[in-house]
Chains A and B, each alone.
Chain A
Amino acid sequence: MRRIVSILLCAALVSGCEIARMVKPEPQANVAAKPPAEKPAPPTPEQFVKAFTVLNERFRVDNERVLDERGTRSIQANRASAFDALHAGLIRLGMIVESRDPDVGTLTVAAPAPRPLSADEWRRTVQSDLPMMAEILCPILGPYCTGIKFEPDDYVIAINATVRGTERGGSEVSLTTRMREIAPRPGMPRRDYPPPTGVRMALDKIWAAFDQALAEQEKRGARKAP
């Protein structure tokens, strides 16, 4: 029986920390038990809290920057058309509608991470954000940070969207994203912000899906504003 003890410092359209997760491989006959490999001493809870607090702050700043750049768009289409297109686009990306109110212009969707990213996009997010996270975490956690992995498990990505009519008959679409930790770790700072690369990629995907749905609508004939 081989035991793999790993520190999972999950992040991403996701991020959390699971300590000493045991992974059991398929049973193998005639294989002697191996002692666990030598590991550096684990950081203290205080070190973890400090590391995550710093990381959260960095993610918050980066997230706000990404949302400033890409979170809102003004378009010519009327509010009803924009709402329908946004709804269709988000559904196509695998998001699940939690609530929707076309009259008010609110739409909330959610899905288990890494959605709306694919597994491949997820890996790219990892490649992109890991060095930045290591730069923040390693000085605090020491050699333990080499065991850091990004995992999308145990997180839900939620997107809140608003669609407002503008004075000239167009509309403004605004998106915000947040992570929901399914089982928050007591004593650990809550992780509300997805990694910035993930947010950037997700927003690009959403806007592309939105544009596509809008174009399809225009072909069929735009809806009248309510």
Chain B
Amino acid sequence: MTDSAFPDALPSQHRLHWYVLERVLGQGGFGITYLARDTNLDQKVAIKEYLPVDVATRRADATVRPRSDDQAERYRWGLDRFIQEARTLARFDHPNIVRVLSVFEQNGTAYMVMRFEEGENFAALLERKRTIAETDLMRVLLPVLDGLELVHNAGFIHRDIKPDNIHIRADGSPVLLDFGSARHSLGHVRTVTILVAPGYAPFEQYYSSGEDQGPWTDIYSLGATCYRAVSGASPMDAIARSKGILGSTRELLVPASAVGAGRYSDRLLKAIDHALAFGEKDRPATIAQWRAELTGGASGTPSQARSVPEPVAASAAPAYFMRTAGLVALVAAIAVIGGGIGAYMAMKGTKAPPEPVPQTAPQPPKPDAHQLAQQKAEQEIQAKKRADEDRLAREKAEQEMQANKLAEEEKRRRDEAVRKEQQRISAKRSAKPKAGTEPGAEPKMVLTPEPKDKSIVAEPPPAGDAAAFAYYRGLALRGDADAALRVGDLFEAGRGTAVNPNWAYVWYSVAEARGVAEAKLKKDAMAKRLQAKELEQADKLARSLAQPGR
């Protein structure tokens, strides 16, 4: 894997705990992303390694070290934020937000383990197609809004939304990446670093220490992303716009309503222009409000309070629309948008060779005189605190690593048991005419599954988690036993739907009731994760679902 393109990368087959690196997916100024295999779960993952090449270097023993003692503090600062980014992302379990599986420290640096997604980067897609149709844009935009609203409602702001940070999966669903500059917006504004993507960052990100930033900051970036999709070029940088607006009150940015007139609906173009308003107070205050403008739904007013984003009732309907009715549409959308998408793509590795993206990873504050003075004072004050925190963080990371390892080993043992049970059952089935019909067969909750629709069952499942989930769920609702087991698997793994052990348990129970013997082991494993009242609730539902003719 270490080749001329990625001289700093770890070699192929290098082992990090139970992850074996396969190849480099991409490298930016602040790290390298690898495709790796989780040998415990036997699945692909993407692993992002913190390696800021301007301040650190790889040694022969694979460790990463600051280039000099002077750089040590900057390196540690960035490393802490890298780990914080992982923890920030781990808060969110949403199909349109990158799923962080783990983070650990090793080799003097840190590694963020993420779900590996196949598909294409939105920037690459736009580069190829230049502009995209309104329906296709909405199929990308609305699910991203859905995920971003979750982030905002939790008190975070992404601060670095741009086409490069939106990934289009093989099934057409988008996923928002790189929360490198996401920071808790409630009470931690003093530590916010200015990380901007020219053209996609609003003016307040250049001058503000954080207090003027909020959901409207991300809305500007989303508006700029839409502008790129309808015009074929990213909008003028906010600094350049400021020279026109602040100098002569003249707007230099050609509005989307002029660029896209006749090709896109007035509603979309007006919403883009509203999002791109120069002054933050002139933009939609919340995702719900902007979504309402995009979709024509009703929501709040532009003068809505801008402090902490409050939950907005109107947000759920469009979100649900995209999650359910949109599933099939998304598959169709990718056919329209993506054309020949098929290559395996990384979280960021869509270009070959990938371009460094300095805005997407943590970096220290820009050293102007005022900030340097303030930093120096703070450094002295915090020196002891930092040492204590570093020690605690290291201890915590080691403990977490140990706990994760134990959990993974347990999972591996369980999977092995399931696999053996499946082999045993397969052997038994091949030797006997039909499970459940022989004398002495184990009694089931309900032993009268509806007949399978053979024509549908015979079809291969569609590609992509979301489409597969919809496919198996449909079959399961029509009485298919194996499909019920698959729906349980998908709920357990969080593929095509949110992770939910309760509903996994329900579907495993249904599968068991319909005669799938291997469902019992899985059901029992899920039962251990549920509380007594949750089990009671799930059992009731499973019984009613398993009833024939429901």
Contact = CB atoms under 8 A, between A and B. Distances in A.
Nearest to B397: A186
B431 interface: no
A78 interface: no
A27 B537 contact: no
Interface in A125-168: 156, 160, 162, 164-165
Contacts of A164: 540-541, 544
B320 interface: yes
Given A22-B385, A186-B402, A108 B503 contact: yes
Given A3-B385, A91-B313, A108-B498, A186 B532 contact: no
B91 interface: yes
A1 B90 contact: no
Interface stretch (A8-16, A93-101, A216-224): A93-101
A67 interface: yes
A103 B475 CA distance: 13
Given A96-B153, A98-B93, A186-B403, A22 B497 contact: no
Interface stretch (B175-183, B263-271, B388-396, B442-450): B388-396
A191 interface: no
B388 A20 contact: yes
Given A24-B382, A96-B150, A105 B537 contact: no
Interface in B506-546: 506, 531-534, 537-538, 540-541, 544-545
Interface residues of B, number: 50
Contacts of B149: 96
A97 B146 CA distance: 10
Contacts of B538: 162
Contacts of B396: 186
A32 to B, nearest CB: 12
Contacts of B378: 27
A104 B509 CA distance: 14
B500 A160 contact: yes
Interface in A1-58: 1, 3, 20, 22, 24, 27
Contacts of A156: 91
A99 B503 contact: yes
Q: Find the residue from A68, A101, A104, A105 having the highest chain B CB count within 10 A.
A: A104
A178 B402 contact: no
Interface string A163-202: 0110000000010101000111011000011000000000
A178 B531 contact: yes
A176 B533 contact: yes
Interface string A49-83: 00000000000100110011001000000000000
A115 B498 contact: no
B533 A99 contact: no
B87 A106 contact: no
Contacts of A186: 396, 399-400, 402-403
B155 interface: yes
B477 interface: yes
A104 B537 CA distance: 13
Contacts of A111: 153, 311
B427 interface: no
Interface string B313-327: 101100110011000
Nearest to B401: A186
A112 interface: yes
A124 interface: no
- Residue among A71, A162, A192 with max Cβ neighbours from chain B (10 Å): A162
Contacts of B392: 20
Given A64-B533, A106-B541, A183-B90, A97 B316 contact: yes
A78 B399 CA distance: 50
Contacts of A193: 531
Contacts of A67: 533
Contacts of A3: 385
B311 A115 contact: yes
A106 B477 CA distance: 13
B498 A98 contact: yes
A105 B153 contact: no
Contact of B87 (A20, A99, A165, A183): A183
B153 A160 contact: no
Given A91-B316, A98-B93, A108-B498, A22 B506 contact: no
Contacts of B388: 20, 22
Contacts of A183: 87, 90
Contacts of B381: 1, 24, 27
Nearest to A65: B533
A112 B540 contact: no
Contacts of B382: 24
Contact of A87 (B316, B399, B403, B503): B316
A17 B319 CA distance: 34
B453 interface: no
A99 B537 contact: no
A176 B531 contact: yes
Nearest to A103: B477
Contact of A112 (B154, B320, B385, B541): B154
Nearest to A175: B537
Nearest to B502: A160
A153 to B, nearest CB: 10
Given A22-B389, A99-B498, A176-B533, A162 B541 contact: yes
Interface in B240-267: none
Interface in B109-153: 149-150, 153
Given A27-B381, A64-B532, A160-B500, A106 B389 contact: no
B319 A97 contact: yes
A176 B155 contact: no
5 contacts: A105-B541, A160-B537, A162-B540, A184-B403, A193-B531
Given A101-B473, A176-B533, 9 more contacts: A22-B388, A64-B532, A93-B311, A105-B541, A115-B311, A160-B534, A174-B540, A186-B402, A192-B531
Interface of B: 87, 90-91, 93-94, 149-150, 153-155, 310-311, 313, 315-316, 319-320, 323-324, 377-378, 381-382, 385, 388-389, 392, 396, 399-400, 402-403, 473, 477, 497-498, 500, 502-503, 506, 531-534, 537-538, 540-541, 544-545
The 5 closest A-B pairs by CB, nearest first: A94-B311, A186-B399, A98-B498, A91-B316, A1-B381
Interface of A: 1, 3, 20, 22, 24, 27, 60, 63-64, 67-68, 71, 87-88, 91-101, 103-106, 108, 111-112, 115, 156, 160, 162, 164-165, 174, 176, 178, 182-184, 186-187, 192-193
